[in-house]
Amino acid sequence: MRTLLKTKFIIFLALVCSLHANDKKPLTLEDIYDSDKFRGKTIENIQWQPDGSAFTFTKRNEETEQLDIYTHEVKSGKERRLLAGADLKYENETLNMSGYSWTSDGKYLLITGKITAIWRHSRQAPYFLYEVKNKKLIAIANGDAHLRNVKLSPDGKWVGFVRDHNIFISDLKTGKERAITENGTADILNGEFDWVYEEEFGLADAWRWSPDSKKIAFWNTDQSRVKEFHLLDQMPLYNTVFKLKYPKAGEQNAVVKIGVADLETGKTAWLDLGEETDIYIPRIFWTNSSHKLAMVRLNRLQNHLNLLIADLSTGKTRAIIEDKNTAWIDVRHDIQFLKSKDQIIVTSEKSGFKHAYLYDYDGNLVQQVTNGDWEISSLAGVDEKNDLLYFYGKKDSPLEHNVYRINLNGKNLERISKRAGWHRGNFSPDFKHVVGFFSDVKTPTQVMLRKADGSLLRFLEKNEIAALQEHALVPPDFFSFKTTDGTKLNAYMIKPANFDAAKKYPVLVFGYGGPGSQMVVNRWGGSRTLWHQLLTEKGYIIFCVDNRGTGGRGKAFKNLAYKDLSKWAVHDQIEGAKYLAALPYVDSSRVGFWGWSGGGYLTLMMMMRAADYFKTGVSVAPVSDFHFYDTIWTERYMGLPQENVEGYKAANVLNYIEGLKGNLLIVHGTGDDNVHVQNTMQVVDALQNRAIQFDMMIYPNRNHRISGGKTQLHLFTKITNYLLEKL
């Protein structure tokens, strides 16, 4: 009797959930990709006052569509608008402010006008000096809209910028300009990076003010020997060519030097980086002194790193910290120089997991600050007054991104973000407060003000998107399963809101699988999340698994990707397909795979090397042959082509073309500067030469994001219809 009642109750609950789902509106592609319905709200450009008592930020004005600057007092919670973006005009035109920074005395704002994107991180724009008291606006460099990497000096007397591949400074009082470098050309770059440094090291700004504002350290990049790749614009009557300096795997890189310009003497000193020139300098930092500059030196194979310190008073450079790995070393912005002591905090994976280490300037290890079988993600900062290191990490779950703090002596580790999900923050200079950002799979990013111990003071933006409540969104179920060789893999599954375990469902697998990446995370996924939800409304299950080689689980797990990016990715995605096939509610004859970029590559591999498991694939902007991709990313994980011939062969999609059996849609933008359409054309040519049928969609002049106008609506309409027809 009890069993019968339990069964009836379960049936009743399922019926209630089904009726509730039926009351909700269905998602549409227009809602997701052609409206602001799910855009949400946030605050940006947060800048703390030096004493930590208040901060300023920008928020979009819904009426004017301009950014306004607000100030928020920590103690009282009082908030007021400091500057309306619509009031900023130059030559009778609205500036379209996109950012700002304060002078050290708080009297002026450096306003960024309308930006124009160059590559992934680099931007150019006109800049203006705004006097807060008198509301006076002055154009920097006569309003030139092509200024890059514009920064105020720490003493607030100068503004520096890059123009025409050279570095300039301008006196804020007189407006008088002065060139710091003069040899800049399209091949010789000062204060700006070449394409590959920007893309793969996450860099755009290639110069640094010294703390005393008397010196400028900068990268000088000679890319004259780097070969050009041509991007074609086929839209004009006669096509045009854009020439891009793009070093492909195994080819010549640019040569980088580090200079330090002395503003008082006008002389530039070139620092000793060692005899080898085929190296990378992915980071430079001023230490706690304007007489010492630190530099990260990385060899071409990216498995040997040195932290160098140059003493500008003597001209000597010495290596103080060394890190080696049998595979590769990931370079992040994880170096903190203490202000009160000659000590440095760095991160390393030498223990098998990424942890924080405290060294002195002579390279002596003072303390391993964190340890254990878990990873730090990145450093947030150091509260030197209380000897506390704040950092982001995955101690409690590789699926989350939490905030922690620990004493510099390695004791009293404390998690200060309480809610499970994805956290990041902007700490006050005194480390008493933090503007925190949080999201999870059910919650778009919220912004709140917290004390440094994690206790909530107030929400700054709850971001309660009303439109989300109109739809029956189903959060993913996170779980893990074991492969046939006993390895545990993390995964998630999204089922339809009216899921019935007695039915058979088609499954779309979403994958990326690249080294160090993570797709299975408890974080809001934006439009991709909503599109996956739309597919569940149409009767599909969404599945995702992080294969061996991905991140969050230690260096040994990640290093499995080394020298053959396809081996474990393909193996474990097949294991995922086998797991699905064993589920009673999965129709194993209707399993598809889709991905973008590295996920597009993985899609091609699955459709050709695992054709018995996947009926349909959608590959967007894929790599096909790693010889075609750039030096830094490719060689980091694959080594040099000349030294890893078999690995490059094994990871080459073109060697498996004849394995394609199912339905394949390939998508690419012809203006993709990152993964060139050359990759897709090689696949197309190989398929056509074998009379193997497939489908393709090309987007003229669209870059790696394949966006702009109604492009994304068109793209996802195409993909959705393809899946409905072929899966």
Task: With a cut of 90, say whether residue 634 has pLDDT above it.
Answer: yes
pLDDT, tens digit, for every residue of 337-392? 999 999 999 999 999 999 999 999 999 999 999 999 999 999 999 999 999 999 99
Query: Is-contact 439 446, C-beta < 8 A?
Result: yes
Residue 476 lies in a domain: yes
Q: Average pLDDT, stretch 533-540? A: 98
pLDDT, tens digit, for every residue of 546-575? 999 999 999 999 999 999 999 999 999 999
| Rounded-to-integer distance, Cα 719 and Cα 329, Å | 37
Task: With a cut of 50, say whether residue 3 has pLDDT above it.
Answer: no
| Rounded-to-integer distance, Cα 255 and Cα 276, Å | 10
Residue 428 lies in a domain: no
Q: Average pLDDT, stretch 437-444? A: 97
| Rounded-to-integer distance, Cα 465 and Cα 584, Å | 36
The 3-state secondary structure of 517-583, one letter per residue: CCCCCCCCCHHHHHHHHHHHHCCCEEEEECCCCCCCCCHHHHHCCCCCCCHHHHHHHHHHHHHHHCC
> What pLDDT is recorded for position 10?
41
> What pLDDT is recorded for position 315?
84
Residue 647 lies in a domain: yes
Give residue for tokens 């797709």: 519
567-581 vs 598-609: helix axis angle to the nearest 10? 70
pLDDT, tens digit, for every residue of 692-714? 999 999 999 999 999 999 999 99
Residue 275: CB atoms within 10 Å: 6
Three-state DSSP at 512 gives coil
pLDDT band at 22 (very low <50, low <70, confident <90, very high): low
pLDDT, tens digit, for every residue of 126-150? 999 999 999 999 999 999 999 999 9
Residue 435 lies in a domain: no
- Supply the DSSP string of 352-418, one letter for each residue: SS-EEEEEETTS-EEEE---SSS-EEEEEEEETTTTEEEEEE-SS-TT-BEEEEEETTS---EE---
For residue 11, give Cα distances in angstroms to 14, 187, 496, 510, 665: 5, 70, 16, 31, 40
> What pLDDT is recorded for position 227?
99
**Angle (CA) 265 267 270, round 5°:** 145
pLDDT band at 12 (very low <50, low <70, confident <90, very high): very low
Kind plus residue range of the DSSP H or E element containing 533: helix 526-537
Residue 135 falls in which region: left (phi positive, over 0), alpha (psi -120 to 50) or beta: left
Residue 93: CB atoms within 10 Å: 10
Query: Is-contact 448 456, C-beta < 8 A?
Result: yes
| CATH classification of the domain holding 577 | 3.40.50.1820
Query: Quick one: what percent of the chain has pLDDT higher than 90?
Result: 94
> What pLDDT is recorded for position 332?
85
Cβ partners under 8 Å of residue 613, min gap 6: 574, 577, 578, 581, 591, 606
Q: Per the structure block, which two tokens stand in for 310?
A: 């140059």
Query: Quick one: what percent of the chain has pLDDT higher than 70?
Result: 97
> What pLDDT is recorded for position 16?
43
Q: Per the structure block, which two tokens stand in for 396?
A: 């409690």
Count of domains for the chain: 1
Task: With a cut of 50, say whether residue 9 has pLDDT above it.
Answer: no
> What pLDDT is recorded for position 11?
44
Domain with 587, as residue range(s), is 23-35+467-726
Residue 365: burial class (beta carbons within 10 Å; 0-12, 13-18, 19+): exposed
Give residue for tokens 């999870």: 440
Q: DSSP label at 142?
A: G
Residue 452 lies in a domain: no
Mean pLDDT of the chain: 96
> What pLDDT is recorded for position 18?
47
Query: Is-contact 330 554, C-beta < 8 A?
Result: no
Task: With a cut of 80, say whether residue 6 has pLDDT above it.
Answer: no
Task: With a cut of 80, say whether residue 109 has pLDDT above it.
Answer: yes
Residue 198 has φ and ψ, to the nearest 5°, of -60, -45
Residue 663 lies in a domain: yes
> What pLDDT is recorded for position 546?
99
Least confident residue range of 14-18, 508-512, 556-560, 600-604: 14-18
pLDDT, tens digit, for every residue of 261-311? 999 999 999 999 999 999 999 999 999 999 999 999 999 999 999 999 999
Residue 706 lies in a domain: yes
**Angle (CA) 472 528 617, round 5°:** 110
> What pLDDT is recorded for position 21?
58
Query: Is-contact 671 701, C-beta < 8 A?
Result: yes
Three-state DSSP at 504 gives coil
pLDDT, tens digit, for every residue of 218-257? 999 999 999 999 999 999 999 999 999 999 999 999 999 9
Residue 299 lies in a domain: no
